[in-house]
Chain A
Amino acid sequence: MKEFLEWVRDWFGSEISGVELFPSGKDKIRACSPEAKVEISNVFLRGVYVAKRAPYGFIISIEGSFLIGRSAKKHLVDLSESDFKKWMRGDDIELKLPEKGVYIVRYGEAFAGSGYYDGRVLRNLIPKVRTLEREG
């Protein structure tokens, strides 16, 4: 958790507070309210998935992007309406960003997960199940 919190602080300039973070499986990180950290039997899942370790840092889930994005000071990209629509269909977006790495995506007041900028395109990291189904 310490590594993730430090990465969030360094990369986004963001502080996560008011929630408990905990590992889930080998690579994932979940978050819950402090009160939801309680011992209960027959637990299936606790809180929500917020991030997953990746070679370039961490993939931030849509819910993680809301948690981190609100206080992020850098590596946050605001999409135009047309790019946002493409993004939500699961497409990569061609644009110019300051450096390679993970970016939190925003449209207006809505956070839309994260992407990896490879120097040419912002690779879409939203899981398919959260993108729009293509009509027809």
Chain B
Amino acid sequence: MEYGIPDDLIKPEFERRYRELLGDEYETFLSFMAKRPVPSVRINPMKVDPGWLLSVLRASGWELSQIPWYEHGYRVMRGPERLGNTEWHQLGLYYVQEAASMVPPVLLSPKPGERVLDLAASPGSKTTQISEMMRYKGLIVANDVSPERVDSLSSNVQRMGSMNVVITMFDGRRAPDVLGRDSFDKVLLDSPCSSLGEVRRSWGALVRWSPRNVEKISRLQVSLAKAAYETLKPGGLMVYSTCTFEPKENEWVVYKLLQIGAVIEEPEVKGLIWRKGLRKWMDWDFGKEMEKCMRIYPQDNDTIGFFIAVLRKPG
């Protein structure tokens, strides 16, 4: 065993690649990847006065610490073992959601009354967060591709009472044909990915990881990202996010969006530590603009890993 992760899960190419990416921080990175993250919840202010719920939870022994970047997000320092099996969870008063996963909706900054597309929405953590930020007003089209994924999305949308959500089921690459071009104020693509940022919760992503799989997922991500961008109104805002560190799934995809006219915006998130996106990786030069992308490593905020880019369609 090394760093708590079994040796055979760290493939030689993975180690070579991430030592190059992280330099001296590689070992710290791995030590965080081996630790379970502190669980966190997002309180639903549309169903309950957060102050009331906080007082009830604290009175029953929960110890909660506010997440700086989302006003209704809390880390559960002490609480029940199964956060998904409490009265409050079943009533939809909170959602068990990793702290870093609350960042993409914060950057999307949805407003009541807007038209929003969440193209790869299952299981619905971000969809329901967006719905609450919109105070259940306006429209969110929450899509996913398979019946299994749409089922879990439907359950969570119901539980959280997200009345402004319409769930659709189709291959997201067909989004402009199905939903129309230039039709949404805001679009979130929290893309399927190699999920290396999730290793803290399950080592499965390390087992599945290979450069070939990364290439394959990257092609899907570029197609999904272009489709998502096409559905955006001129002047509209798109957030592209993944829970992985692979440049080919992150900066490369954003680079492809810049080539079709997207403009990157500088993200601002209160209390969050993040690194700039990569300007260069292997033989690619993505350009200085790519530094406006956000890389979140596990050791930065003691969360899972994320990559996020905020893009505007000129208009």
The answer to whether A and B come from one shared complex is yes
Interface residues of A (CB under 8 A from B): 19, 31-33, 35-36, 38, 40-49, 62-63, 66, 84-85, 88, 108-112, 129-133
Residues of B within 8 A of A46 (CB): 165-167
Is B166 within 8 A of A62, CB to CB? no
Residues on B with C-beta less than 8 A from A85 are: 87
B168 touches A44 (CB 8 A): yes
Which residues from chain B contact A63 at a C-beta distance below 8 Å?
A: 92, 158, 161, 163
Chain A residues lying within 8 Å of B138, measured Cβ to Cβ, are 33, 35
Is B178 on the interface with A (CB-CB < 8 A)?
A: yes
Whether A40 contacts B90 in the complex (CB less than 8 A), given A35-B113, A35-B138, A109-B49, comes out as no
Contacts of B53 in A (CB 8 A): 109-110
Q: Are B162 and A66 in contact (CB under 8 A)?
A: no
Closest-by-CB residue of A relative to B93 is A110
Give the Cβ gap from B243 to chain A, nearest Cβ, in Å: 24
- Render B5-49 as a binary contact track against A, CB cut-off 8 A, 1 for contact: 000000000000000000000000000000000000000000111
Given B113, B155, B168, which contacts A43 in the complex, CB threshold below 8 Å?
B168
Q: B154 contacts which chain A residues (CB < 8 A)? A: 44-45
Residues of B within 8 A of A131 (CB): 90
Chain A interface, >50% SS class: mixed
Chain B proximity of A108: nearest CB distance (Å): 6
Chain A, Cβ-Cβ closest to B85: A133
Contact call B163/A36, Cβ cutoff below 8 A = yes
Contact with A40, one of B93, B113, B162, B166 (Cβ below 8 angstroms):
B166
Residues of A within 8 A of B140 (CB): 36
Give the chain B neighbours of A88 by CB distance below 8 A: 87, 90-91
- A38→B157 CA distance, assembly (Å): 18
Inter-chain contact A132/B87, CB cutoff 8 Å: yes
- Mark interface residues in B183-198 (1 if CB within 8 Å of A CB, else 0): 0000000000000000
Q: Which of chain B's residues 83-116 have a Cβ closer than 8 Å to chain A?
A: 85-88, 90-93, 113, 115
Contact of A62 among B56, B92, B164 (CB under 8 A): B92
Choose from A33, A38, A49 the contact partner of B137 (Cβ within 8 Å). A33
Q: Please state if B167 and A48 are interface contacts (CB–CB under 8 Å).
A: no
Expressed in whole angstroms, the Cα–Cα distance for A45 and B155 within the complex equals 11
Q: How far is the CA of A66 from the CA of B150 in the complex (A)?
A: 24
Contact with B52, one of A19, A47, A66, A109 (Cβ below 8 angstroms): A109
